[in-house]
């Protein structure tokens, strides 16, 4: 499972000209699911996300977590995180999980964030989404479990 955490001051997801998710301070999380991922991996990655300290404290040091700053999250399913570009000029997505596996795991990840008390919204699985990200810093972190 791969998560790209974008630390944001604001973020939103629009589907067919309708805003379906919108947050202030927090993360827009682009989440890719692999074929061997499990609910346990999703929960572990969500916990790491909740506690990762990349928000600035009063001294300007990245020392605070999403929980510490009462941040919010948007989770966006992103199968393209599993793109294989090793051959040719067109990426292959054969390494991404099929939708029947991926969609429930995206939900497990988002629900685990909610269990920590993080206000979490989601994009629309399988839809064409316009994701607005006002990256703060910029801070962009790639998390992957299991780690390679």
The predicted model gives 130-144 an average pLDDT of 97
In this structure, is residue 148 part of a structural domain? no
In this structure, is residue 88 part of a structural domain? yes
Catalytic residues: 78-80
pLDDT given at position 148: 62
Per residue in 30-87, pLDDT (tens digit) is: 999 999 999 999 999 999 999 999 999 999 999 999 999 999 999 999 999 999 999 9
Q: What is the CATH number of the domain that holds 16?
A: 3.50.80.10
The mean predicted confidence, pLDDT, of the chain is: 97
pLDDT given at position 147: 75
Q: Give how far Cα 13 sits from Cα of 10, 46, 52, 119, Å.
A: 11, 20, 23, 15
Q: Which range of residues forms the domain containing residue 86?
A: 2-142
């Amino acid at each position: 499972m791969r998560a790209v955490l974008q630390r944001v001051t604001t973020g939103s997801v629009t589907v067919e000209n309708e805003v379906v998710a919108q947050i202030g301070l927090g993360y827009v999380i682009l989440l890719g699911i692999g074929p061997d991922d499990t609910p346990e991996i999703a929960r572990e990655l969500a916990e790491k996300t909740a506690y990762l300290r990349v928000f600035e404290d009063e001294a300007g040091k990245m020392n605070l977590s999403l929980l510490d700053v009462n941040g919010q999250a948007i989770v966006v399913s992103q199968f393209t995180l599993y793109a294989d570009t090793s051959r040719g000029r067109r990426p292959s997505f054969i390494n991404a999980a099929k939708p029947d596996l991926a969609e429930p795991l995206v939900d497990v990840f988002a629900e685990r964030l909610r269990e920590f008390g993080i206000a979490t919204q989601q994009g629309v699985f399988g839809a064409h989404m316009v994701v607005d990200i006002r990256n703060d810093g910029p801070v962009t972190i790639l998390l992957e479990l299991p780690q390679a």
